[in-house]
């Protein structure tokens, strides 16, 4: 569906200085895939997105979507796009803004209202629809931005930092939204700093740095069976008896423990044992995901 073939993009300033933002980049993203892009600041993520949106052509190599140059693809089919920096006239209401975006995106006039209602429903922003943009919180603005990206129900969706500014509840719901958007024939690209999110959402993740593809990680995440890993437990009381109950746990001090686990069942059994012994557990989080580990290896601490 989307193909980069040794794509290189060099920015040249008027003073003749040049920056190679993307170099010899090759990648194929299939239809039906949710694909993640991760990389530190300056890695070239925005440039890759601009190439896919057809904002400019590669300096060398090629980029195509469904066999077309991105510009032609966008003209024919459109691409749903959530930009990292979306500016909307602060005096418009949320629904005005969506109606205008829908019109701009070429939604037929008689369908604008229906599409706007649908995406408002999808993002749960009905109670904010009549509020002015300037009155919306960052999280609600981000949801509006996402709603905007879904207006035309396109086959290609590109979401740049989609959970930026969302609270944990909406970050969680966002996962549900992406899952509901997944369909055969549709390609969803998500650029994010949040590796945990990409690990959960994406089928594959490209780790890029210095304009190059460093690694392609198959996340293979399956909520039900996600197994081996290290979990971090925070306990409020009972820390002193943890060594006796869970000898495998490493005491990190301050009521924090690291626990290597081979299955979700094992994790639950360990927790049940600790809780039964009177330990009060405040939180349980995966200490490091597969993706995070790969990212650190590929990019080092700069990420």
Residue nearer to ligand ADP on the CB measure, 9 or 152: 9
**CB 182, CB 188: distance < 8 Å:** yes
Residue nearer to ligand ADP on the CB measure, 86 or 264: 86
Given the structure tokens 């993203």, which residue do they identify? 29
Residue nearer to ligand ADP on the CB measure, 84 or 266: 84
Q: Considering the complex, what minimum distance in angstroms separates the CB of residue 215 from ligand ADP?
A: 15
Closest of 248, 238, 299, 301 to residue 270, by C-alpha: 248
Give the C-alpha separation, 180 to 197, whole Å. 16
Residue nearer to ligand ADP on the CB measure, 118 or 194: 194
**CB 205, CB 35: distance < 8 Å:** yes
Fill in the per-residue mask, 13 to 42: x = in contact with ligand ADP (CB under 6 A), - = not in contact.
Answer: ------x-x-----------------x-xx
Candidate residues 46, 142, 219, 289; the one interacting with ligand ADP per rule CB under 6 A: 46
Give the C-alpha separation, 146 to 46, whole Å. 18
Q: Considering the complex, what minimum distance in angstroms separates the CB of residue 166 from ligand ADP?
A: 20
Give the C-alpha separation, 294 to 289, whole Å. 9
**CB 161, CB 84: distance < 8 Å:** yes
Structure tokens at 160: 């740049």
Candidate residues 43, 97, 147, 299; the one interacting with ligand ADP per rule CB under 6 A: 43
Candidate residues 29, 33, 34, 45; the one interacting with ligand ADP per rule CB under 6 A: 45
Residue nearer to ligand ADP on the CB measure, 63 or 136: 63
Give the C-alpha separation, 135 to 154, whole Å. 29
Residues numbered 96-155 forming contacts with ligand ADP, rule: CB under 6 A: none
Residues in contact with ligand ADP by CB under 6 A are 11, 19, 21, 39, 41-47
């Amino acid at each position: 569906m989307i193909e980069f073939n040794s794509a290189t993009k060099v920015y040249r300033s008027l003073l003749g200085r040049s920056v190679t933002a993307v170099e010899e980049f090759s990648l194929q993203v299939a239809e039906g895939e949710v694909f993640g892009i991760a990389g530190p600041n300056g890695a070239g993520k925005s440039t890759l997105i601009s190439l896919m949106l057809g904002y400019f052509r590669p300096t060398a190599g090629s980029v195509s979507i469904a066999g077309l140059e991105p510009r032609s693809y966008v003209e024919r089919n459109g691409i749903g796009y959530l930009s990292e920096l979306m500016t909307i006239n602060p005096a418009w209401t949320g629904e005005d803004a969506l109606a205008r975006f829908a019109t701009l995106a070429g939604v037929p006039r008689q369908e604008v209202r229906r599409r706007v209602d649908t995406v408002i429903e999808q993002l749960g922003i009905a109670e904010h629809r009549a509020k002015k943009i300037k009155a919306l919180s960052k999280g609600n603005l981000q949801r509006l931005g996402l709603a905007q990206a879904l207006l035309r129900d396109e086959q290609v969706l590109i979401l740049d930092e989609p959970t930026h500014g969302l609270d944990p509840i909406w970050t969680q719901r966002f996962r549900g939204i992406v899952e509901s958007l997944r369909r055969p024939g549709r390609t969803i690209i998500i650029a994010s700093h949040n590796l945990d999110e990409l690990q959960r959402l994406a089928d594959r993740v490209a780790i890029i740095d210095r304009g190059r593809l460093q690694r392609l990680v198959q996340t293979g995440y399956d909520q039900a069976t996600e197994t081996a890993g290290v979990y971090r437990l925070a306990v409020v009381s009972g820390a002193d008896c943890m060594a006796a109950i869970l000898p495998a746990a490493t005491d990190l001090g301050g009521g924090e423990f690291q626990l290597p686990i081979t299955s979700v069942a094992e994790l639950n059994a360990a927790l049940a044992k600790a809780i039964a012994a009177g330990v009060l557990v405040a939180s349980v989080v995966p200490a490091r995901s597969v993706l995070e580990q790969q990212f650190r290896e590929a990019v080092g601490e700069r990420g």
